Structure 1
Amino acid sequence: MKKNSIIVLLLFTIITVTAQQSSIPEVEELLSKMTLEEKIGQLNLLTPGGGVATGAVVSENVEAKIKAGQVGGLFGVAGPDRVRQAQEIAVKNSRLKIPLIIGSDVIHGYKTTFPIPLGISCSWDMGLVEQVARVAATEATADGICWNFSPMVDIARDPRWGRIAEGAGEDPYLGSQVAIAMVKGYQGDDLAASNTMMACVKHLALYGAAEAGRDYNSVDMSRVKMFNQYLPPYQAAVDAGVGSAMSSFNDIDGIPATGNKWLLTDLLRERWGFKGFVVSDYTSVNEMIDHGLGDLQAVSALALKAGLDMDMVGEGFLTTLKKSLEEGKVTEEEITVACRRILEAKYKLGLFDDPFKYNDSSRPAKDILSAEHRAIARKVAAHSFVLLKNENDVLPLAKNAKIALIGAMANEKNNMLGTWAPTGDIQYAVPIMEGLKAVAPQASISYAKGANITDDKALAEKINVFGLRVTVDSKTSEAMLKEALDNAAKADVVVAVVGEASEMTGEAASRTDIQIPESQKVLIRALVKTGKPVVLVLMSGRPMDISEEFALPVSILQIWHPGVEAGNAVADVLFGDYNPSGRLTTSWPRNVGQIPVYYSMKITGRPGTDTFQKFRSNYLDAPNSPLIPFGYGLSYTDFEYSGLKISKSEIGLNSGVQVSVNVKNTGDREGEEVVQLYIRDVVRSITPPSRELKAFKKILLKSGEEQTVTFDLKPDSFKFYNSELEFIAEPGTFEIFVGKDATTDRKVTVEMK
């Protein structure tokens, strides 16, 4: 071998070894002392049971495994004293005294439960989104938790999928901004502080595109679609410094994400530069057996070699990796690399300096469910509501009105928190009836159930898996309806709280019928026939098919599942103490047969319109457009746009441009408007979407006030991933649209040379 070749080889070896070593000297020192079994133990994440239920499997002999150095972390355990007990077993009774990392699913608040994430995203207020995560981190760390399985950033365009409730909707740009805000809120400026927690971006990747909207189902899409439409929010979280990532249940290019080397190593680590660790979803290592990829030993080895670092609950790593090493199916270096990443996370959290830093028993009383946190929850909920219709301007209601409050969810706590609130407690929720009375004590409010959420007892049993959410009343449907109509006859206005129970969406809660259940439809029809003004307060965890209700002479306020301050926030908006400013982050379909329908769909070679034409991309029985578009939302005031301008008519390939528009509040109330900017690349090397959201600003205007809103579009705003997966801009014409929602036709153009 020539001398130069030897030098190059030595340099390569040095660089490779250095890259595999930690930048934290203490980690390398600890690794040098660890046995193979102890390294594998750090890759094992267990749940002891008796705590928060987030899956069907509970680990066994947890205490003995911790003492033996066979556990790297726990979840499903909370409370300073209980976490301290678990931590003491690790740092006092195991050989190397390595602390545990304590995780939890804190999806939309801890004890102070906020609206479901889909609802929070409808605020279009990244300051509020970050504040939600900051409150959640403060409360969870007060209860001993330092690692959060959030944010969930999956782009979702199929409302049949129950977990659409957990994300930020259909758009990659908005989803990316939400991901950044949540990571910043959870992790703060100092991950080692006692009131910040490590975030975990999930579910990597494409989980929101599950076929047929059925949870855990297969996903198959092109790389171009991945990079342009589905991957940006995950990358945004990585760029924001997220400490960990969770693999998804679905497959990608035929290989489950948990064992997909292209995803976990080539993309996540090498292309995006991710420095944290990757944990599997609940038993997703084991579930690769059902995917058809081999027995537990085979799939565990596949996952490790792909770049998975921690096995959640399944214990495939714990029970098979040593054998795989002996058989040459994995290397000790691969085990060491995974272990190193987990130890680094524990050092970044400060657990080696103080394993009990999150076990201050004085914190829960002052940091959890404080008056300050509840006030924030009330504000966020009100900002998340979307006014879909305001028939004859019936809203806001007079505070001395006679109100017939109707609906199974109008005077109860069980459905206020929403899906995936395992750390919340329904006893602290404010019912809507209670909120109305508190905000408008002069109002006369009568209550009647009117109808069951559903009359289907079999469906109710499925919904009630985590507690009572749906009751089928002993009264007949006719008797309940009569009581509601009697109340309506005496009232000035009817407020009917209708929609979905909290567990009709969420994990393992996909639906083929996303209409309001028939029992409630009968009630709504009868209330409308009374001739009284009817306000539908619509509660759901997904976009619904409300074509029938939208055509009725009713007002509709979409409130999602609003969280612990539900009743107060609903009252604030209904009575006008807060002017609704929420805007949809998903398109709402006309019917389930239209799905998927989203604003950035491509224009085909035979483009269709809402007027049927033969041999065009149309339906025979419905228009192409959604019932309600992305970005839509009404206010109690009106906003007028004018003077759309662009700073340049021509720009270079790596140039930006400034766009401005005047927005005036022409109504008689103060209100907030979400000014939205979309771009269409008219001609490019791969077919473009009809338009893409690239910027937005939420502004507050007093009655009669006018403001010039300016957007500084950076070069990246005009770029896309081409067929070679290069992030580029190409010369040509760009149309820039600015307005209230994704249907705006107000535009300027710019030529890129």
Structure 2
Amino acid sequence: MTENLTSSVHSLLQQMTLEEKIAQFMQLATHFYEGSFSAGQITGPMEEMGIRKETVLNSGSVLGASGAREIRSIQDAHLKENRLGIPLVMMADIVHGFETIFPVPLGIGCSWNMELAEQSAQVAAKEAAVSGIHVTFAPMVDLVRDPRWGRVVESTGEDPYLNGQFARAFVRGFQGKDLKTDLHRVAACVKHFAAYGAAEGGRDYNTVNMSERELRENYLPAYKAALDEGCEMVMTSFNTVDGIPASGNATLMRHLLRDEWGFDGVIISDWGAVKELIPHGVAADEAEAAKKAIQAGVDIEMMTPCYANHLQELVESGVVAEELIDEGVIRILQLKKKLGLFENPYRGADEQQEKEVVLCAEHRAVARELAEKSCVMLKNEGALPLQKEQKVALIGPFAESGDILGAWSWHGSKEKAMKLADGLRMKLDSAQLLVGQGCDIQTGTEKQLEDALRIAEQADVLVLALGEASSMSGEACSRSDIRLPQVQLDLVKRLKELGKPMIAVLFNGRPLDLHGVIDQVDAVLEAWYPGTEGGAAVANLLFGDSNPSGRLTMSIPFSVGQVPVYYNHFNTGRPYYPEDTESHYVSKYLDIPNEPLLPFGFGLSYTTFSYSDATLSENTLTKEQPISLTVKVKNNGKLAGEEVVQVYIQDLVGEVVRPLKELKAFKRIHLEPGEKKVVSFTITEEQLRYHHANLDFTSDPGAFIAYVGPNSEEGIALPFELQ
């Protein structure tokens, strides 16, 4: 923070009354504000929350506003009434696109492509900024291992290293290098701090219970990566951490985030999370909730009035030190200074640019490219790519559905999304494409089925567009049964009886139990929710105009009974080896495999790649002297393709139990048919460090194995030692 910026903020702080300071902590939705196009709703909600008009006039930020005209109107009305002329900061959930919607983050993760991930955030920031938004509640970097949890759709996967790389890319894309001068960027807010993705039973908002070592080893690194990249804000999570809800957890927010990590930016609660300290059972009433949250270091309370209604009394009675209030206000004002709002309170909001930029052809092209890179081919027994002389029957609830945007695409238009049927119409003559619904997402009629069977009989190949409605993934969308709805499985079974080649395209927001699909069809393309250009991207992949290159960042379970299932798990004292059919008293299931159906890092292509000549430059690594790993990768097929070369390391003996494998590096490479490339990686001592029993982050001398290959289960093993 520069001296001039800090001094000007302190000067403003000295002019503020205690009531004005506390009002800066309040974040309310758009309809509370004069100038909003829905401002008629103000009176009722204000009375319901028990807040006064003066508090709204002095509040610091607005939630969910968008559109240059409305935001300028709100800011205008606010500045006319605010005594000190302190502008509002406009915040919203711009998670994977504003109006140009990119694949959901789980899909972006499967691209393993940091350049495109950063570009997607940059596009989203530009569209949001010209529409008047200053801050986005993204990236969401929670590590996820349980596909029952609906919010896995918002994460980039189960690996802490890979999540950290994406966290950095998203922050760079959203924020750029200078928020004050680059009006096409927005401030980022990393969420949800901390360990929200580890909710018990995969049930949203549920308890999180883990050791501090596990927290630091796997769940904290991606948040830290975002902050190291300069992320301006942190959002608290709904869950408990070591028995204390995050929004009232001083150990987590003050001691770890502020004191240990040195974060001096704004901390904001998630929606209603401060007041939720009461049902959690750590606060008796709103006043105690306010006290605990402010003492924990939460600066902005989103959509509950505990601060507004109780902090002044708590300060005046000596229960809360006014210094805590001042600290929080300074952080909020500094953010507004960084954004340049005092000089330009309408920062970026431009109706003309909004018309030109939002959902423009250039942005749609980026969305299409990222959608192509995000889809993962899970199976192909010769049915793909489609041939343009084939007669294709497209059948399923997603055949002509625009519901392919996924959660947190609130400005996206399903009507403007490229549907799969429209994508295929760009490839085929009208006589070659037959389209039928077959069933709805969860229900179906006999007529729908009969129509589907009739057109299927006329076709050479069947493309089944299946999946979950977007309302089945995302916040508060936990599922205990992660198979496709039964009506869709029944549709697959009936079509299978025709004996024709079948390809399943899946639109969903979590790894599914794929039984009833993957065992019935000849090919499976996992499209996730691919976004605005999803139909065009999937069509390009189905016809081989683009070669699938996505790789899984969450393991696909064999059964929901395995979850949480993830690649970087521990061994046990009685490990199970599949080739050992005699042992009984080992760690295994009696009725299903231990292994997932498809592992982390897995994905197929229209070509095949081989790995050979893997070597280490030395067999011994020291702190001062890293070693190099090289491997030759060859494209054995007749089509150009992209491979994701992955490096994993196993620490054979540690002070505490170490994972069987940990991803440490990867590279995407493009190979022409028959082309070979030597791919090189550097292995350093720093990559071998972990949190010991006393939480020291160090390495242990001893034996290690590096694996290089196409996924977490396949690879060439290269032993080495750390001295």
Q: TM-score range by the shorter chain?
A: over 0.9
Question: Which of 333, 337, 354 matches 1:364?
Answer: 354
Question: Which of 142, 157, 160 matches 1:169?
Answer: 157
Match of 2:129 in 1: 141
1:669 touches 1:702 (CA, 8 Å); kept in 2? yes
Give me the TM-score of the superposition, normalised by structure 1: 0.92
1:228 touches 1:720 (CA, 8 Å); kept in 2? yes
DSSP-derived class of the 1:551 partner: coil
Match of 2:340 in 1: 350
| Structure 1 residue 210 displacement after superposition | 0.3
Question: Which of 34, 39, 48 matches 2:21?
Answer: 39
2:23 touches 2:55 (CA, 8 Å); kept in 1? no
2:55 touches 2:308 (CA, 8 Å); kept in 1? no
DSSP-derived class of the 2:319 partner: coil
Letter in 2 for 1:399: K
1:67 touches 1:90 (CA, 8 Å); kept in 2? no
Letter in 2 for 1:733: A
| Structure 1 residue 91 displacement after superposition | 2.2
Residues 285-310 of structure 1 deviation map (CA, whole Å, 9 limit, x = unaligned):
00110001121110111010111111
* Greater displacement, 654-663 / 322-331: 654-663
Structure 1: gaps (5+ residues): 1-18, 456-472
| Structure 1 residue 23 displacement after superposition | 5.7
* Greater displacement, 708-717 / 676-685: 708-717
Question: Which of 522, 542, 546 matches 1:574?
Answer: 542
Separation in structure 1 between the aligned mates of residue 120 and residue 45 of structure 2, nearest angstrom: 31
2:187 touches 2:231 (CA, 8 Å); kept in 1? yes
Residues 68 and 214 of structure 1: CA distance in aligned 2, closer, same or farther (over 3 Å): closer
Separation in structure 1 between the aligned mates of residue 291 and residue 331 of structure 2, nearest angstrom: 18
DSSP-derived class of the 1:334 partner: helix
Separation in structure 1 between the aligned mates of residue 339 and residue 682 of structure 2, nearest angstrom: 37
Residues 441 and 510 of structure 1: CA distance in aligned 2, closer, same or farther (over 3 Å): same
| Structure 1 residue 654 displacement after superposition | 5.1
Match of 1:201 in 2: 190
In the TM superposition, 1:100-179 aligns within 5 A as: 100-179=88-167
Match of 1:679 in 2: 649
| Structure 1 residue 499 displacement after superposition | 1.4
Separation in structure 2 between the aligned mates of residue 728 and residue 524 of structure 1, nearest angstrom: 52
Query: Does residue 28 of structure 1 match 2:10?
Result: yes
Structure 2: gaps (5+ residues): none
Residues 584 and 22 of structure 1: CA distance in aligned 2, closer, same or farther (over 3 Å): farther
Match of 1:80 in 2: 68
Letter in 1 for 2:263: F
Query: Does residue 726 of structure 1 match 2:712?
Result: no
Match of 2:458 in 1: 490
Residues 172-203 of structure 1 deviation map (CA, whole Å, 9 limit, x = unaligned):
01000000000000000111121010000000
Question: Which of 257, 264, 267 matches 2:256?
Answer: 267
Residues 20 and 571 of structure 1: CA distance in aligned 2, closer, same or farther (over 3 Å): closer
* Greater displacement, 552-561 / 637-646: 552-561
1:67 touches 1:93 (CA, 8 Å); kept in 2? no
| Structure 1 residue 258 displacement after superposition | 0.4
In the TM superposition, 1:422-437 aligns within 5 A as: 422-437=410-425
Letter in 2 for 1:349: L
* Greater displacement, 352-361 / 508-517: 352-361
2:465 touches 2:506 (CA, 8 Å); kept in 1? yes
Query: Does residue 642 of structure 1 match 2:618?
Result: no
Residues 224 and 655 of structure 1: CA distance in aligned 2, closer, same or farther (over 3 Å): farther
Residues 501-530 of structure 1 deviation map (CA, whole Å, 9 limit, x = unaligned):
111100010000000110000110111111
2:623 touches 2:684 (CA, 8 Å); kept in 1? no
In the TM superposition, 1:600-679 aligns within 5 A as: 600-610=568-578, 613-653=583-623, 655-679=625-649
Separation in structure 2 between the aligned mates of residue 515 and residue 436 of structure 1, nearest angstrom: 27
Match of 2:565 in 1: 597
**Number of equivalences:** 709
Residues 424 and 20 of structure 1: CA distance in aligned 2, closer, same or farther (over 3 Å): same
Query: Does residue 708 of structure 1 match 2:697?
Result: no
Separation in structure 1 between the aligned mates of residue 496 and residue 714 of structure 2, nearest angstrom: 32
Match of 1:544 in 2: 512
Match of 1:389 in 2: 379
2:504 touches 2:521 (CA, 8 Å); kept in 1? no
Residues 276-334 of structure 1 deviation map (CA, whole Å, 9 limit, x = unaligned):
11000000000110001121110111010111111001121111101111222211000
DSSP-derived class of the 2:351 partner: coil
| Structure 1 residue 25 displacement after superposition | 1.5
| Structure 1 residue 440 displacement after superposition | 3.2
Query: Does residue 186 of structure 1 match 2:168?
Result: no
Computed over aligned residues only, the root mean square deviation of the Cα atoms, in angstroms, reads 1.9
Letter in 1 for 2:396: G
1:47 touches 1:59 (CA, 8 Å); kept in 2? no
Separation in structure 2 between the aligned mates of residue 588 and residue 675 of structure 1, nearest angstrom: 20
In the TM superposition, 1:242-257 aligns within 5 A as: 242-257=231-246
1:667 touches 1:703 (CA, 8 Å); kept in 2? yes
Residues 530-553 of structure 1 deviation map (CA, whole Å, 9 limit, x = unaligned):
110000001110000013322224
Query: Does residue 313 of structure 1 match 2:303?
Result: yes
Separation in structure 1 between the aligned mates of residue 717 and residue 708 of structure 2, nearest angstrom: 6
Match of 2:46 in 1: 60
Match of 1:460 in 2: none
Question: Which of 203, 207, 210 matches 1:221?
Answer: 210
Residues 66 and 343 of structure 1: CA distance in aligned 2, closer, same or farther (over 3 Å): farther
Separation in structure 2 between the aligned mates of residue 346 and residue 634 of structure 1, nearest angstrom: 47
1:247 touches 1:280 (CA, 8 Å); kept in 2? yes
The sequence identity of aligned pairs, in percent, is 44
1:59 touches 1:313 (CA, 8 Å); kept in 2? no
Separation in structure 2 between the aligned mates of residue 317 and residue 20 of structure 1, nearest angstrom: 29
| Structure 1 residue 164 displacement after superposition | 0.3
Question: Which of 695, 699, 707 matches 2:669?
Answer: 699
Separation in structure 1 between the aligned mates of residue 2 and residue 22 of structure 2, nearest angstrom: 17
Residues 606-640 of structure 1 deviation map (CA, whole Å, 9 limit, x = unaligned):
11233553110000101100000000000000101
Residues 197 and 590 of structure 1: CA distance in aligned 2, closer, same or farther (over 3 Å): same
Match of 1:302 in 2: 292
